[in-house]
Chain A
């Protein structure tokens, strides 16, 4: 009883101060995020529609812009499945088995996150560019990688390399492998075990990893900028097209293309929130 008294007293007089602090901190949170995140997002939409719907839509009636959209879709269509396959394989090896050098492997997988996008582009120039290690051989055989689509695909793959693996490794480690072991013991084949036991358990995390990988693949700027050569209609992706249009003071078209990429980001966040909401409901 003696301990209950001061606690009761606290409760009766502290709330006014606590409530003020609480209101203050929530205000700072919302003000900071509005300035930093909502203002730029609002600017993209305001600028894109500055001259109305019609001008907005006409922005896409441009062969270079359409070519940029096509190249972005093509790049994502190659890179995302490849990195998804890699992510699943890496997560299976790392989460299901104990082996030497595992933490080194995890660090190496994370490496592209730590490296500047410009360096990510630069390394491919050093390998395949005209002054690169294989530059002469490639030139003799008339193969163009830098300032062409293959370079763009490789730089994008480099930058988006860890996304799916990063999402799956902690998830699969946390889930353990008892169910898979039971399935194998009961005579299920490896593919059957993966498709019927593992995949249903990881599908939402996998979906989020793939979506995030896709968003970054379609939006990568620095790495692609270094290897692209900015040849209009041929080696410009959507973000590079945004840059070209912006630097030409074609603001409505620049922000119109940017608005598509911003929409992609918002869809990514909605899917992420949905995936987390599902995970919460299952555990809660």
Chain B
């Protein structure tokens, strides 16, 4: 068991048992089903696959899913940074509660946030009515509704990613720059931003990746009109409901590829972040 090319020797027990169980459970529950989807896609010919994936309705759904996820991740990068900054740098009453609240989108079931957002932003909801009357903007049942839902879902990713970077950032550098006469925007651009940028990129990508695949919180507020407010995950569900298994598999395979690319990007961004904070642990 202790062959040296595979693992370093240790006197602790349980290596074979725990690694064996881990790999077995991972393979049975995650890898095997994923392989089933990938193999199912090989049933299709290239032209069938492309016809499904490049179908007009599918392309409209990508535009919405990726576009809305991008806008939401951008909103989160800006406001999530401000939230993280306030929580790390300032002391104010209720800070602890605000900090705990950030994780609400992780803990709240997506169906619950979905119906709640739809109610708040619907043309008769208390925020929806105000937005409609004051600005003439309708949020629910438009692409803006999708953006709102994905902003809610993505917020904790950015805040939880930026917070530790801000804690570790060297404040004496900022103070030195200020002492030497640098204005606040210059200090922000040249000292704060470079220090937290990798964490911000990681958070942005995680929020974006989550947003592209999100289903529950979106379908209640989006209105689900084909070509207009229909996200890609919903299109997969619709194909399944119409027993179009090959179509669902093709779209699912496409989304799976996108997930892999994002996961790779997140890992690269995290490695970049770790290099930036050498010896900072974690």
Q: Which residues of A contact B (CB under 8 A)?
A: 6-7, 10, 14, 17, 21-22, 25-26, 28-30, 32-33, 35-41, 43-44, 47, 82, 85-86, 89-90, 92-94, 96-100, 105, 107-112, 114-119, 122-127, 129, 131-133, 154, 157-158, 161, 170, 174, 177, 180-181, 184-185, 190, 193-194, 212, 215, 218-222, 225-226, 238-240, 242-243, 246, 254-255, 258, 261-262, 264-266, 268-270, 272-273
Contacts and interface: CB of A to CB of B under 8 A. Distances in A.
B51 interface: no
Interface in B71-102: 79, 82-83, 85-87, 90, 92, 96, 98-102
Contacts of B108: 41, 219, 261-262, 265
Contacts of A114: 209, 259-260, 262-263, 266
18 contacts: A28-B86, A32-B83, A36-B148, A37-B105, A40-B116, A85-B21, A114-B262, A116-B215, A117-B213, A117-B214, A123-B34, A123-B37, A212-B107, A242-B109, A243-B111, A243-B115, A268-B107, A273-B100
Given A115-B213, A116-B259, A158-B30, A26 B90 contact: yes
Contacts of B279: none
B237 interface: yes
Q: Is the interface of B mostly helix, strand, loop or mixed?
A: helix
Contacts of B120: 39-40, 43
Given A97-B19, A239-B216, 13 more contacts: A10-B178, A43-B125, A43-B126, A97-B12, A98-B10, A116-B215, A116-B233, A157-B29, A158-B33, A184-B11, A184-B12, A222-B233, A262-B112
A262 B114 CA distance: 12
A41 B249 CA distance: 36
Given A99-B19, A127-B32, A265-B108, A254 B98 contact: no
B115 A255 contact: yes
A21 B215 CA distance: 38
B240 A218 contact: no
B82 A222 contact: no
A85 B24 CA distance: 13
A92 B32 contact: no
Contact of A44 (B86, B98, B112): B112
Nearest to A215: B107
A269 B214 CA distance: 22
Interface stretch (B1-9, B56-64, B190-198): B1-9
A119 B212 CA distance: 12
Contact of A10 (B7, B179, B233): B179
Given A108-B26, A112-B30, A221 B36 contact: no
B136 interface: no
A242 B112 contact: yes
B248 interface: yes
B127 interface: yes
B12 A272 contact: no
B145 to A, nearest CB: 13
A202 to B, nearest CB: 14
Contacts of A212: 106-107
Contacts of B111: 219, 221, 239-240, 242-243, 258, 261
B200 interface: no
Nearest to B180: A6
A225 B237 contact: yes
B207 interface: no
A37 B116 contact: no
A263 B154 CA distance: 21
A49 B5 CA distance: 64
Given A108-B31, A177-B12, A90 B282 contact: no
Closest 7 CB pairs of A and B: A116-B213, A219-B109, A40-B116, A221-B216, A99-B7, A222-B215, A123-B33
B17 interface: yes
B30 A97 contact: no
B138 interface: no
Given A32-B79, A36-B151, A115 B259 contact: yes
Nearest to B127: A39
B202 interface: no
Contacts of B79: 28, 32
B142 interface: no
Given A114-B259, A126-B249, A131-B245, A222 B216 contact: yes
A83 B8 CA distance: 27
Contacts of B19: 93, 97, 99
B152 interface: yes
A99 B23 CA distance: 13
A181 B12 contact: yes
A33 B82 CA distance: 11
Contacts of A36: 148, 151-152, 155
B82 A226 contact: no
B236 interface: yes
A119 B116 contact: no
Contacts of B255: 116, 119
Given A43-B120, A92-B18, A123-B36, A98 B98 contact: no
